[in-house]
Amino acid sequence: MNPSQTSKIQDQTIQGNVQIAGFKADIRDFNGIMEELKDLNRGCVVQLMDADGVAGREHVMHAVTHAGNAFARGENIAKDMGLEICVRTSAQRQISRALDVLGIREGKMNICAVAVGCEADVMEKLGGILGPRDDEALKPDEEMLKKIYKVSDLEVETAGSILRVLMEKTACLILEK
């Protein structure tokens, strides 16, 4: 993505042109899906993540905001906005660890799709690639999230929710340089 596209996407993120949807997919050809996504996300960002590692829309929106801000400050971890969204959602500084936590893979899985700066029908087009949209895939499973992110019951109790713990972890990435 060139700098003007990144700037356009940052501006659109600030304006709220972010779409988030869930899909229950059965991925049989990972490489084929990646190729189809390349065609779909010309001029915008489309990022697919394992929805089991996401604490709902607010979690993802928080990460998108942090990703946009990181690019604006020149403090992004990844060179690609989609990957930066994944890194921020997973609250990881290591791209490989972020992909371990939120990367998609072949087989049946819940997918969180994030589109920034895309046309209004992007989720409909994704449905043609992934299968029918099902926002139930975005419903957080607290026990699974605690296991994925190694969060204790005390942390959840102190913060008030697993969502708050994960949002705090994302915010702390700013401090870790």
Q: CB neighbours (10 Å) of residue 124? A: 11
Count of residues in the chain? 177
pLDDT in tens, 38-73: 887 678 999 999 999 999 999 999 999 999 999 999
The reported pTM is 0.88
Indicate the burial class of 82 (C-beta count within 10 angstroms; 0-12, 13-18, 19 or more). buried
Query: Both tokens of residue 4?
Result: 């003007």
- How high is the pLDDT of residue 42? 77
- How high is the pLDDT of residue 52? 97
- How high is the pLDDT of residue 177? 60
φ and ψ at residue 107, rounded to 5 degrees: 115, -175
- How high is the pLDDT of residue 14? 44
pLDDT tens, N- to C-terminus, the chain (177 residues): 444 444 444 444 444 589 999 999 999 999 999 888 888 767 899 999 999 999 999 999 999 999 999 999 999 999 999 999 999 999 998 999 999 999 999 999 999 999 999 999 999 999 999 999 999 999 999 999 999 999 999 999 999 999 999 999 999 888 766
Q: Classify residue 133 by its DSSP letter.
A: B
Q: Lay out the sheet containing 45-50: strands in order across.
A: 18-27, 107-116, 45-50
- How high is the pLDDT of residue 40? 77
What are the start-end ranges of the E strands in the chain?
Answer: 18-27, 45-50, 107-116
Where would I find the H helices in 29-121?
Answer: 30-40, 57-73, 81-90, 95-102
- How high is the pLDDT of residue 16? 58
First CA to last CA across the chain, in angstroms? 24
- Do 33 and 79 touch, CB atoms closer than 8 A? no
Of the candidates 33, 57, 41, 44, the residue with the CA atom closest to the CA atom of residue 128: 33
